[in-house]
Amino acid sequence: MAVVVFGSINMDMVARVARLPRPGETVPGESFATAPGGKGANQAVAAARLGAPTRMVGRVGDDVFGVALRDGLAAEGVDTAAVVATPGPSGVAAISVDAAGENTIVVVPGANGAVGAEDVARLEAALVGARALLLQLEVPLPAVVAAARAARARGVTVILDPAPARPLPAELYPLADIITPNAIEAAALVGFPLDGEAAARRAGRELRGRTGGAAIVKLGARGALVCDATGETFAPAFPVTAVDTVAAGDAFNGGLAAALCAGLPFAQALRWALAAGALAVTRPGAQTAMPTHAELLALL
């Protein structure tokens, strides 16, 4: 069985500055680096490093970043047969981080914005022999809905990460077997803040009701709240020393899918997800921070 990811592929461009510029101002930067990102690609790398045969469906641009992004995924063992180059620039995130860790981020969808019906057609082939489909919201919503529908029709488990926060079409919820917002995304979807345990439970119940499957609310260092037919359960996080929480949520979803792909039951898959999220925060970066199967087993 395989994990299939339908989603975004980005190049992150990170400049470190002493302080962020004001509008119209130029400041000297201290360092610059590029790193592959995008929620879709991050989740694909997370699943692949944990040993799941992983197929990526998405688009890169016909620029230098596109070649690097596709080669980078392949080097991580991700099947990129369904990653196509589309005319124009690759998706990019231009990130500035100041000395205090405060940041500004501009995300330009580029090729990700062209994901549509043709990609869903390529997804159909990729879904053969798949256990789970990982979806996020960095590609156009009509394509996300069509992708979820294609997976459901084949009995492939749909894991929907409603990130970044944006309103969801009502038709998408019932297509998700598992919806996995973090606290901010959950609040945006239910319309009230998750300012305590009771509110988190209420939000989880509400979101589970919309899906008809399960909801997992990711709560950072507190772990996750799992809502399914049996009720709501808090699953504590693995205690680790966090150095950089970037892409913790992507590690969590990759871990969940990889475990299901390995034939593990839901309770065990949840432990893989929590462990993958915890390990990812112990290291800087997005894809570079994703744990290997051996590291995960050591923590478990």
Q: How far is the C-alpha of 247 from the C-alpha of 44, rounded, in Å?
A: 12
Q: Which amino acid is at 170?
A: A
55 in Cβ contact with 81 (< 8 Å): yes
For the CB of residue 128, give the shortest distance to ligand ADP in the complex, in Å: 30
- Chain positions 156 to 175 lying near ligand ADP, rule: CB under 6 A, are 163
Active site annotation includes 177: no
Nearest-approach distance from CB 221 to ligand ADP, in angstroms = 4
CB of 235 to ligand ADP, least distance (A): 8
| The one among 256, 278, 289, 296 contacting ligand ADP by CB under 6 A | 278
Q: Binding to ligand ADP by residue 242, rule CB under 6 A?
A: yes
Q: Which amino acid is at 25?
A: E
Q: Which stretch binds ligand ADP (CB under 6 A): 134-142, 148-156, 217-225, 286-294?
A: 217-225
278-to-171, 179, 210, 247, 275 alpha-carbon distances in Å? 32, 20, 28, 11, 5
4 binds ligand ADP (CB under 6 A): no
Task: Note whether 209 and 216 are within 8 A (CB).
Answer: no
Q: Is 277 in the site for ligand ADP (CB under 6 A)?
A: yes
Query: Exactly one of 189, 237, 289, 290 binds ligand ADP (CB under 6 A); which one?
Result: 237
Spatial separation of the C-alpha atoms in residues 57 and 55, rounded to whole Å: 7
Asked if 157 and 133 touch (Cβ cutoff 8 Å), the reply is yes
Q: At what angle do helices 117-126 and 141-153 cross, to 10 degrees?
A: 30
Omega of the bond leading into 36 within 30 degrees of 0 (cis): no
- Cβ-based nearer residue to ligand ADP, 66 or 291: 291
* Closest approach of ligand ADP to the CB of residue 245, in Å: 5
Binding interface with ligand ADP (CB under 6 A): 163, 182, 218-221, 223-224, 237-238, 240, 242, 245, 248-249, 252, 274, 277-278, 281
- What is the set of active-site residues? 250
